A and B are shown apart, each in its own frame.
Chain A
Amino acid sequence: MVMQEKANIPDQPRHRLTTRLWHWINALCLLILLMSGLTIFNAHPRLYWGEYGANTDHAWMAVGSSDRIGYLRVGEMRINTTGILGNWQDSEGRIQTWAFPGWATIPSYYSLADGRRWHFFFAWIFSLGLALFMMRSLWNQHIQKDLRMRRDEWRPSNIGRSIRDHSRISAIRQSAGKPYNIVQKLTYIGVIFILLPLMIITGLAMSPAMDANWPFLTDLFGGRQSARSVHFIAAFLLVLFFLIHMLMVLISRPVRQTWAMITGGNGRGSDG
């Protein structure tokens, strides 16, 4: 098989040290950034498009509570989310009307100031980690070797097969430890080079000091409130990526896959 060519060099671990280090640091950062981000969202659980947006302006998305019913409103669609969003019970049985529940936020109680501190500290680690990983992965050719897409991979039949393979348990199990297929390559490139940088750029675009220094950042998204909306949407695309990533790991060979991401594993992907 042509696809076996590169990853089978015996000395080469399945995952390089920088990839493994970054993977786990990044996983921790993203979890903390998501949960502290939800604390910040709870301070004003409404999203707008454009430069401005406050309580009397039209929000395209809002979480709220009325008559003891929690709801999520997207456009004109209103979904009852009592128990999860907008109206839920805390661990001591008290009804809370913050948008996201305590089990999803850092800290688990509402504190915008503390949520911001967690968020900005881990934003630095996340940003520096991503920058170093990108540079190192280009330098050691991880990106060029493992994520490069050959012309024949772009054939619709290959893309179609790859997508179908992701819905077949046997195919997912067989692919464990093999070179990445086209769907995996596109996903990893999309996450590493589009979604993750987008989180940083939209985050900076919300800063009033950045607006003075680099106004093009905010303009890129059509305003501060648009940047805030994109920040939120991109965060949930990352959650979606995480859920599919977990599902694929669990269906394939979760123990060996996790072990390989910790120790490196070997290129043959043998069961050992």
Chain B
Amino acid sequence: MTILTRRNLISGAAIGVGSLLTGCDALTRSPAFQDILASAETANFMVQRALGDRMELASEYGATDLSPVFRANGTRDPGTSDYRASAAQGFADWQLRLTGLFVEPQMFSLAALQKLPQRTQITRHDCVEGWSAIGQWTGVPLKILLDIAQLHESARFLVFHCADRLGGRPYYESIDLLDGFHPQTILAHQLNGEPLPVANGAPLRLRVERQLGYKHAKYVTGVEAVASLAGIGEGKGGYWQDVANYEWYAGI
């Protein structure tokens, strides 16, 4: 009465794996299934935030640990005429605007930012693709700017507006206030002791060290404080979140 034979077992397994493959593609395209898969993001976020004291610092390294070449990724040159013109004069006219839910919205020139207290940190940059590079970053802690402009009580997220476009859309990213006030969250204007190269986000890039590289917005022109991410872009909190299914929380 054996219905199962060795041969059916092998062919059954082969059919199973084959249908798993086509089935997986169909599931990947299903919005409902994507919601189920994305629930892991919530779990990762909650567990990673529950570990440690929430303000734990990312590892810092010594000068001998630096990567010989710090790889650039994403936009390597915004290429617009405005950007080129600004680069030609050493970004002397670059402005960083703090807008949205601030008690006192601000505008800083690069020189004004450089006169504020600075932080230098040697950290490891972890790309979502899998590679890592160690670099030394110098910049103004975001907390100092937030303290000057003072957030409204309703502010929940900080949105970083950028001068570069990818696929015709402006790049942007966002973080919550916990990362916004984290001591290693800085707007960097130097890499390895030199002015930030164009490929790495000149003149200002965000460093948010406990998350993956795509969160570290380059060519930053503005920080907007918002109560919700719904009205920005397509509402998912960042360029890569809008155009693909990258997670807003990039701690893993």
A interface list, Cβ under 8 A from B? 31-32, 35, 40-41, 43-44, 46, 51-57, 103, 106-109, 111-114, 116-118, 120-121, 123-124, 204, 206-215, 218, 224-225, 228, 250, 254-255, 258-259
Let me know if A41 and B56 touch, CB within 8 A. no
CA distance A32 to B40 in the complex (A): 15
Let me know if A211 and B43 touch, CB within 8 A. no
B27 to chain A, nearest CB (A): 9
CA distance A124 to B252 in the complex (A): 13
Interface residues of B in 1-55 (CB under 8 A from A): 2, 4-6, 9-10, 17, 20-22, 24-25, 28, 34, 36-41, 43-44, 48, 51-52
Closest 7 CB pairs of A and B: A209-B251, A213-B52, A44-B130, A207-B252, A43-B129, A54-B71, A113-B245
Interface residues of B in 78-127 (CB under 8 A from A): 124, 126-127
A44 and B56 in contact, given A120-B44, A121-B36 (Cβ under 8 angstroms): no
Let me know if A118 and B51 touch, CB within 8 A. no
* Most chain B CB neighbours (cut-off 10 Å) among A46, A108, A109: A108
A111 and B28 in contact, given A52-B67, A207-B252, A212-B57 (Cβ under 8 angstroms): yes
A255 and B9 in contact, given A52-B133, A107-B28, A212-B209 (Cβ under 8 angstroms): yes
Contacts of B181 in A (CB 8 A): none
CA distance A213 to B5 in the complex (A): 52
Pick from A107, A116, A225: contact of B25, CB under 8 Å = A107
B211 at the interface (CB under 8 A from A): yes
A43 and B126 in contact, given A52-B67, A117-B38 (Cβ under 8 angstroms): no
13 cross-chain CB contacts under 8 A: A52-B133, A55-B131, A107-B25, A108-B22, A117-B245, A121-B36, A208-B58, A208-B124, A208-B210, A208-B211, A210-B48, A255-B4, A259-B4
Let me know if B210 and A114 touch, CB within 8 A. no
Let me know if B24 and A210 touch, CB within 8 A. no
B97 to chain A, nearest CB (A): 28
Residue of A nearest to B49 (CB): A209
Taking residues whose C-beta sits less than 8 angstroms from the other chain, chain B's interface range is 35 or more
Let me know if A56 and B69 touch, CB within 8 A. yes
A107 to chain B, nearest CB (A): 4
CA distance A169 to B15 in the complex (A): 27
Let me know if B129 and A44 touch, CB within 8 A. yes
CA distance A210 to B48 in the complex (A): 7
Contacts of B142 in A (CB 8 A): none
Let me know if B10 and A46 touch, CB within 8 A. no
Residue of A nearest to B12 (CB): A258
Contacts of A117 in B (CB 8 A): 34, 37-38, 40-41, 245, 247
Residue of A nearest to B48 (CB): A209
Residue of A nearest to B24 (CB): A106
Contacts of B68 in A (CB 8 A): 56-57
Contacts of B250 in A (CB 8 A): 208
Pick from A44, A118, A209: contact of B131, CB under 8 Å = A44
Contacts of B34 in A (CB 8 A): 117
Let me know if A208 and B126 touch, CB within 8 A. yes
Contacts of A112 in B (CB 8 A): 128-129, 244
